Structure 1
């Protein structure tokens, strides 16, 4: 098969199927009246000094618009026990309806930003807007992490332990995966 990059639907399907698993940013935001919550699988870490994460929505719906307008948001990590709630929060709702309420997700207060975080998420990153980058029809939203919440039970000697943490990853379509099946490789000198 050969694909023409101008075939947006075919290219999206091929990219989102080949680039897997993708971590999921469950982004919470607020406009001051309504708290929004939505999952984004075009998400990653882009820098460490300063610590910056990004998510890239295909359109400027409520959550990314709030992140840009208020210059604050929270990235909550999705674990298998949160999968159903995360999926429910992806429903298309009116702007004045909260996905937290629709999906039955408990809010927890943030420390630095006004946007609430997902109370049940074992890892949450409070972010302030670092920048936005227009990439075709998408907008990459970059956030500087200004505070992190990590459940103590995921730590070993004060550090996040990948063996104690199982994140959910996005594959293609309605397919997801776990991070339970692991192996190690020593980096050569």
Structure 2
């Protein structure tokens, strides 16, 4: 099968969602200028540079109470900071709860019963029990093609790692089994890993 996105695919659901898979989930916590808290998952997320360490995520829809975007991006515009909380399999249900289309007044930490603590380098909350948290200062917001598509790039200014995830000097993902997005309503969990050496190493 071949299709041009501009012509449509003729399938029941958009296959593009499932082709780039699996995708890590950036569970983004933010605080608005008014002090309101928000926590929401984004699967258009990844690390993009080592030095300085940088991450990106994209928001691709809008809410009527947020001027063409969603709570997360609106808060980042106001404050210039955000925190990426890594999602483990054990947190799948509370993570999913925070994906709801709640009014901006709703604090997802409270709504989903998620414990929070203050970040060290930015004025923002983070998920206390997450395997890792990346505190970020906004580098830039890029308007992408499409009505409500925005890409945020942040420089990582602080890194938290849960002690039980450090094994023999490495951050061991099998200690917590990361949750990944597969597309549609499908997710997967990482329970296996292997190593490959690059040519010349």
**Alignment TM-score, normalising by the size of structure 2:** 0.87
Q: Are the counterparts in 1 of residues 144 and 150 from structure 2 also a CA contact under 8 Å? A: yes
- What residue in structure 2 maps to residue 181 of structure 1? 192
Q: How much has 1:50 moved relative to structure 2? A: 1.2
Pair 1:24–1:10, CA change in 2 (3 A): farther
Q: Are the counterparts in 1 of residues 3 and 9 from structure 2 also a CA contact under 8 Å? A: no
Name which of 86, 98, 105 aligns with 1:77. Answer: 86
- What residue in structure 2 maps to residue 22 of structure 1? 23
CA distance in 1, matches of 2:102, 2:73: 15
CA distance in 2, matches of 1:24, 1:63: 14
Q: Are the counterparts in 2 of residues 79 and 168 from structure 1 also a CA contact under 8 Å? A: yes
CA distance in 2, matches of 1:88, 1:50: 33
Q: Are the counterparts in 1 of residues 28 and 39 from structure 2 also a CA contact under 8 Å? A: yes
Unaligned runs of 5+ in 2: 62-68
CA distance in 2, matches of 1:48, 1:117: 22
The answer to whether residue 158 in structure 2 is matched with residue 156 in structure 1 is no
Q: How much has 1:74 moved relative to structure 2? A: 0.3
CA distance in 2, matches of 1:170, 1:146: 26
Name which of 34, 57, 62 aligns with 2:71. Answer: 62
Q: Are the counterparts in 2 of residues 129 and 142 from structure 1 also a CA contact under 8 Å? A: yes
CA distance in 2, matches of 1:162, 1:103: 24
Q: How much has 1:57 moved relative to structure 2? A: 0.6
CA offsets, 1:76-105, max 9 Å, x none? 000011100000001111111111111111
- What residue in structure 1 maps to residue 46 of structure 2? 44
Q: Are the counterparts in 1 of residues 29 and 85 from structure 2 also a CA contact under 8 Å? A: yes
Pair 1:185–1:56, CA change in 2 (3 A): same
- What residue in structure 2 maps to residue 89 of structure 1? 98
CA distance in 2, matches of 1:97, 1:116: 15
- Equivalent position SS for 2:105: coil
Q: Are the counterparts in 2 of residues 79 and 166 from structure 1 also a CA contact under 8 Å? A: yes
Q: Are the counterparts in 2 of residues 13 and 172 from structure 1 also a CA contact under 8 Å? A: no
Unaligned runs of 5+ in 1: none
Pair 1:115–1:7, CA change in 2 (3 A): farther
Number of residue-to-residue matches in the alignment: 189
